[in-house]
Amino acid sequence: MADCNAFKMAQTQLDEAAEILGLDEAVHEFLRWPQKEYSARIPLRMDDGSTKVFQAFRVEHSLARGPAKGGLRWHPNETIDTVRALASWMTWKCAAVDIPLGGGKGGIVCDPKQLTESEKERLARGYIRAFADIFGVTKDVPAPDVYTTPQIMAWMMDEFETINREHAPGVITGKPIPLGGSQGRGDSTARGGIFVAREAGKAFGVELKGKTLAIQGFGNVGRYCGILAEEILGMKIIAVADEHGGIINKNGISMQALAEHTDRTGSVIKMEGTEPIENSDLLELEVTMLAPCALENVITKDNADNIKAEMVLELANGPTSPEADEILFAKGIPVIPDFLANAGGVTVSYFEQVQNSYNFYWTIEEVQARLEEKMVTAFDAIFKIADERKIKMRTAAYLGSVMRVAEACKLRGWVS
């Protein structure tokens, strides 16, 4: 991944939309920065009896449309600027699919692969103790993200309930189903993206059935992207990469077989019947659709000219730099922007909050039908703006989202 400040990227994207909208200077400046930021140092007793101290963050970008909502990432390269960027993208994501939440994000600078399960539990509980006063159903609701899991969410929810001495399942989403999690949450980010890809294929005249897909990143989102692209779109996945390397088979790779191989070995590499491929080469394959599903800034000005996909589906957050965006737009390659493409996760997290509040739970069919309706409605509105103004889908998505958030700020009297 090229060196890039994700938050500056997010601000640049907002600046472009603000200029097109003629956004008031005060509103623009207000939305360029998070409303609130918190940091803490968490001491963790390790299993060997030693103590290590971990840096932790929570950022609330906007509370104008509702409580902050956003995931918690555990990553050794986490930074405050990455968390700021992700929190701002969450603001636009919630507004894009028109759910009454604001943007938040959290992070712990750690390598979870070096932690035991008991150490992970103590770190999860330590995070909640550090920020317990800012979390709440009506204040700020965390969720899983990179290297965090439903089990980690369960420990966090339990710690919050222990501190507050009340049952509060809605304070955390992405929980295990027996603790109030929602049906359909596990594949919701990818499923929402596949619904959007289907609509984008129709809108841009890109045939997807029987065509090829390359997936960069094979965590939860990348795995389900492949499975659902086969199942819903009828696509053929010819290349997949993770942090260890990539594989390619131009005749197609069975996603079920690859999932079993990855569960057994810990990586996609060395799967029988495939050849190795570098991550950088995978991005430049001649495929119908490219789906970046890993981390930020993998498509940059240095490789954008070499992208040959007919369409890019951003299931990762911030995988395309602003300079690369311009290059792809000039080449006529539609980019389905992250805060539309991967909004399925926060949408079903919102559904989880609703179900927790009612203490009444929906079937998986109800969840998936409601998700499809939200994603299709959002795509149609954004595509209409892009088509009418002849602008990038990302810019169109920003225009709609920024207008919604700016209106809320003005109605509250925060800015005039």
- CA 79 distance to own-chain centroid: 17
Average pLDDT, the chain: 96
Ramachandran angles phi, psi of 70, nearest 5°:
175, 160
Q: Supply the pLDDT for residue 416.
A: 82
Find the helix packing angle between 6-21 and 80-96, rounded to 10°.
40
pLDDT in tens, 299-315: 999 999 999 999 999 99
Alpha carbon distance 222, 154 (integer Å): 24
Q: Are strands 102-109 and 140-144 parallel, antiparallel or unpaired?
A: unpaired
* 98: pLDDT strictly greater than 50: yes
Q: Supply the pLDDT for residue 2.
A: 43
- Based on the residue annotation, tell me whether 120 is a catalytic residue of this protein: no
Q: What pLDDT band is residue 3 in, cutting at 50, 70 and 90?
A: low
Catalytic residue, from 8, 52, 69, 105: name it. 105
Q: Supply the pLDDT for residue 318.
A: 87
pLDDT in tens, 106-129: 999 999 999 999 999 999 999 999
Q: Supply the pLDDT for residue 286.
A: 97
Q: Which helix (H) or strand (E) holds 214?
A: strand 212-216
Q: Supply the pLDDT for residue 297.
A: 83
Alpha carbon distance 159, 157 (integer Å): 5
Q: Supply the pLDDT for residue 1.
A: 41
Q: Supply the pLDDT for residue 296.
A: 79
pLDDT in tens, 317-326: 889 998 999 9
Q: Which residue ranges form the domains of the chain, and what is each CATH number?
A: 30-179 (3.40.50.10860), 188-336 (3.40.50.720)
pLDDT in tens, 344-385: 999 999 999 999 999 999 999 999 999 999 999 999 999 999
Residue range 145-149: average pLDDT?
91
pLDDT above 70 coverage of the chain, percent? 99
Q: Helix or strand or coil: residue 254?
A: coil
